[in-house]
Amino acid sequence: MTDFTAKYKRYQDAFEDVLNRFYDKLNVTPEILAESLKYSLKLGGKRIRPVLMYAVGDLLGIESDKLDNFALALELIHTYSLIHDDLPDMDNDDFRRGKPSNHKVFGADNAILAGDGLLNTAYSVLFGECFKGDGYISAAKYICDCAGIEGMIAGQSADLLHENDRTVDKDVLDFIYEHKTAKLIMAAVMTPSILCGGKYYSELKAFALNLGFLFQLTDDILDVEGSFENLGKSIGKDSAEGKYTGVRLYGLSGSKVKADLLAENCFKLLEAPDGDTAFLRDTVNFVRQRIN
C-alpha cells in the first residue's frame, strides 16, 4: 500500500465511522424506508467528496470533527442524486456499484422517496448544528446551492435537455460538466475554505472546478473503455442514449489529452496554498488514472 492509498483509506475509514454512527438515525418507520435509505449509503463507493473535504481541511488546519456534518450531508446529497439518476424515468440503470440499483430492490416508488428522504436528511443534519455560527451557515448554504437549481440539478436538467442533440457544443458540455459533476466537488473542497473565512478561496475553487471536469471526463472515458467488473455499473450507455460526453466532443484520444491538461491545471493551482499538498496532488492522479 502506498502512502497515498494508506492515507486515502484513513480518510475513508474516518468517514465510515461517521456514517456508522449515523445509521441509527435512519432506523425510522416504516422499515422499508429505513432499509432503502441505508441500502444505497452502504453500497459504498470511493467517498471521494468526504475524502477531499477532510484532506483540504488538513491543509487548512481544520479538525475533522468540524467537517463531519458537512461530509455527511454532502454524501447524503450525492447518494440521493444517484438513486434518482438511476430511476427508470431517468437513466434507467439497473446496477450501481455492482449491485442492483435502489429501485430494482425497493421499486421505483420507494426509490423516489428514498432519494427525497436522503436529500431532506442532509439538511436536517446541517440545521442540527447551525448554532455554531456564521461560517457554519455560509458553508451549509454553499453546499445547498451547489446541490440545487443553480448547481447539480441544473446540470442534470441540461443533461436531459441535450440528450440526442446531433452535435456537441463545447459551451453546453462545459455547463453540464460544471453543474452536474464539478459543483459537488466544489462543495467538498470549499467547505473547509469557507469555514476559515475564505482561505485560498479563488485558487481552491478553480482547483475544484478543474478536478470536477477531470472527474467527469474520466467518467466519460470509462463509459467507453471501462468494464462492468471494475465500474459496477452498465457501460456504453451514454453513447447509446446520445448523451453529451467529452468523448463525443474531443474523441477518445483527444479526451485523454484534455484530461492530462485538466490534471496539469490542478497541479498548478495547488501551488498557491502554503502547506503539504502531496495528498491532493496524488488524488488528482488517482482521478486521472482511475478504473472505477
The answer for residues whose C-beta is within 8 angstroms of residue 47's C-beta and 6 or more apart is: 11, 12, 15, 16, 75
Positions in 140-179 near a copy of itself (CB under 8 A): 140-141, 144-145, 147-150, 153-154, 156-158, 160-161, 175
Determine, following the binding rule CB under 8 A, whether residue 211 of this chain makes contact with a copy of itself: no
Determine, following the binding rule CB under 8 A, whether residue 109 of this chain makes contact with a copy of itself: yes
Q: For residue 136, give the C-alpha cell.
A: 457554519
Interface with a copy of itself (CB under 8 A), residue from 47, 54, 75, 117: 117
Selection from 162, 155, 151 nearest residue 176 by Cα: 155
3-state secondary structure of 43: coil
Return the range that interacts with a copy of itself (CB under 8 A); candidates 15-23, 28-36, 183-191, 193-201: 28-36
Q: How far is the CB of 66 from a copy of itself (least distance, A)?
A: 17
Determine, following the binding rule CB under 8 A, whether residue 131 of this chain makes contact with a copy of itself: yes
Interface with a copy of itself (CB under 8 A), residue from 7, 47, 49, 84: 84
Q: Rounded to an integer, what distance in angstroms lies between the CA atom of residue 138 and that of residue 159?
A: 28
Determine what percent of the chain falls in helix, strand and coil, rounding each to the nearest 5: 75, 0, 25
Selection from 47, 33, 105, 103 nearest residue 78 by Cα: 47
Q: Rounded to an integer, what distance in angstroms lies between the CA atom of residue 231 and that of residue 172?
A: 26
- Our CB check for a copy of itself shows the closer of 154 and 235 to be 154
- Our CB check for a copy of itself shows the closer of 186 and 284 to be 186
Determine, following the binding rule CB under 8 A, whether residue 116 of this chain makes contact with a copy of itself: yes
Size of the site for a copy of itself (CB under 8 A): 50
Q: What is the DSSP letter of 210?
A: H
Q: For residue 32, give the C-alpha cell.
A: 422499508
Q: What is the DSSP letter of 275?
A: S
3-state secondary structure of 95: strand
Q: Rounded to an integer, what distance in angstroms lies between the CA atom of residue 122 and that of residue 117?
A: 9
Q: How far is the CB of 141 from a copy of itself (least distance, A)?
A: 4
Determine, following the binding rule CB under 8 A, whether residue 240 of this chain makes contact with a copy of itself: no
Determine, following the binding rule CB under 8 A, whether residue 119 of this chain makes contact with a copy of itself: yes
Determine, following the binding rule CB under 8 A, whether residue 120 of this chain makes contact with a copy of itself: yes
3-state secondary structure of 105: helix
Q: Is 236 left (phi over 0), alpha (psi -120 to 50) or beta?
A: left
Q: How far is the CB of 94 from a copy of itself (least distance, A)?
A: 15
Determine, following the binding rule CB under 8 A, whether residue 108 of this chain makes contact with a copy of itself: yes
214 contacts 262 by C-beta, under 8 angstroms: yes
- Our CB check for a copy of itself shows the closer of 110 and 245 to be 110
Determine, following the binding rule CB under 8 A, whether residue 38 of this chain makes contact with a copy of itself: no
Selection from 31, 33, 51 nearest residue 282 by Cα: 51
Determine, following the binding rule CB under 8 A, whether residue 33 of this chain makes contact with a copy of itself: yes
Determine, following the binding rule CB under 8 A, whether residue 236 of this chain makes contact with a copy of itself: no
Footprint of a copy of itself (CB under 8 A): 26, 28-30, 32-33, 37, 80, 84, 87-90, 107-110, 112-113, 115-117, 119-121, 123-124, 126-128, 130-131, 134, 137, 140-141, 144-145, 147-150, 153-154, 156-158, 160-161, 175
